[in-house]
Amino acid sequence: MVKFVSVDKVKPGVTLARDVYGVDTFTGRIVMLKANQVLTTAHITKLLGLDLQGIYVHDNKSIMSTLIATSEKKEVISNIKELYKIAGKATESIYVGNIENTNDVLEKLIDTITDLESFYLTVDDLRLYDDNTYNHALGTTILAIAIGKHLRVTREDLTDLALSALLHDIGMVQIPISITQKPARLTDEEFDIIKLHPAQGTEALKDNERVSERVLTGILSHHEHYDGNGYPNRPKGKQIPFFGRIIACADVYDALTSQRPHRGAFSAHEAIEYVMGNAERQFDSGVVKAFLKCVSPYPVGNCVKLSNGELAVVVTQNPENPLRPSIFLMDNPSKIIDLYSDKNYLNVVISEVVEEVVES
Ligand SMILES: [Fe+2]
């Protein structure tokens, strides 16, 4: 994927996606560095000396940093892995000590997220790329903390919200793998078995004195729908526990943007459209509003193609609607267009993120 970044954000090892031009007094515009050049410290120093707005680079996940450090994600993953292992053994219960360790790890994650002044989470921010098994628990937790922060959940309550989100699917360890990993649509009978997991998870944790009632109700209600059409108990609206309403939204967004045995991953913008379209039906609209302030389908610097064929670069996110950020056109970088309010662009949408920019 191609990104437009300011030169001071570039790290050695990044590959240029477009030629970089400079001005020669005698010959005019000259190519300073060619596309596909892997940048060294010397190149970056040279680029810093040029009066550039930014450069186009290939977004390499191992080089470009995400908001939450890999080491921190690894710690959360190893913790949830341990809890799932214990929960999978029918004879053992999750010890108080395990939950205490988990809470310590979650405290660090909450600090990281609450310390960020303004942030938008990309799908990459929710994942750890070298370990896929427990990514859903990690992603749901990160997003639930972020939504909770926007809804002004207190610092103390965020710990319970994070624990509830991390453990929301722990009841799934009791569902046969032939159902959870089935590479096709589930039958009604199989889905009835899946529907047992919120209650099974709650049951496994209910005697643990470190797991509060709010954590349990969050787990039990994470598949309830705002209009009363969810499961297992079908409460409606604000009767659904607050944590359950937050986790429901985080869970669905993370699940849709993940690869599943029976389908590919939805893009971030498709998943956001799904969540927006289901406000008041599946989700609490107050939670959806907070969710929209946390996610980023088109991060700043992404190159995108508009539905009118123009190529553009994302300049700022719109906190009300992440699908309509401000952009500049590649052909006219000095003009900023706000897709949310510019009358000439009301019918124009972002049709895709540009993976490759062809040099003209
Ligand atoms: Fe679930």
Q: Is 260 exposed, middle or buried (0-12, 13-18, 19+ CB in 10 A)?
A: middle
DSSP assignment string, 292-312: HTTB-SS-TTBEEEETTS-EE
Instruction: Measure 256 CA to ligand 1 centroid, in angstroms.
Output: 13
Cβ count within 10 A of residue 32: 17
Sign of the Cα torsion 79, 80, 82, 83 reads: positive
Instruction: Measure 220 CA to ligand 1 centroid, in angstroms.
Output: 9
pLDDT at 66: 67
Instruction: Measure 129 CA to ligand 1 centroid, in angstroms.
Output: 22
Q: What is the mean pLDDT of each run of 10 residues along the chain (360 residues)?
A: 79 83 71 85 85 78 65 91 82 78 94 87 82 84 97 96 96 90 90 95 90 97 98 97 98 93 88 97 98 90 91 89 92 88 94 70
Cα separation, 165 vs 153, in Å, equals: 14
**SS3 category, 277:** helix
Residue 78 token pair: 């190893």
pLDDT at 90: 64
Instruction: Measure 150 CA to ligand 1 centroid, in angstroms.
Output: 23
Cα separation, 307 vs 327, in Å, equals: 14
Query: 147 CB contacts (<8 Å, ≥6 apart)?
Result: 246, 249, 250, 287, 290, 291, 294
Instruction: Measure 288 CA to ligand 1 centroid, in angstroms.
Output: 18
Cα separation, 42 vs 44, in Å, equals: 5
Indicate the residue type of 115.
D
Instruction: Measure 198 CA to ligand 1 centroid, in angstroms.
Output: 6
Instruction: Measure 17 CA to ligand 1 centroid, in angstroms.
Output: 41
Instruction: Measure 223 CA to ligand 1 centroid, in angstroms.
Output: 6
Residue 116 token pair: 């960020």
Instruction: Measure 232 CA to ligand 1 centroid, in angstroms.
Output: 11
- The pTM of this model reads 0.84
Indicate the residue type of 256.
L
pLDDT at 138: 95
Only one residue has tokens 């039990």, namely 220
Q: Is 66 exposed, middle or buried (0-12, 13-18, 19+ CB in 10 A)?
A: middle
Query: 155 CB contacts (<8 Å, ≥6 apart)?
Result: 110, 114
Strands 28-33 and 350-353: unpaired
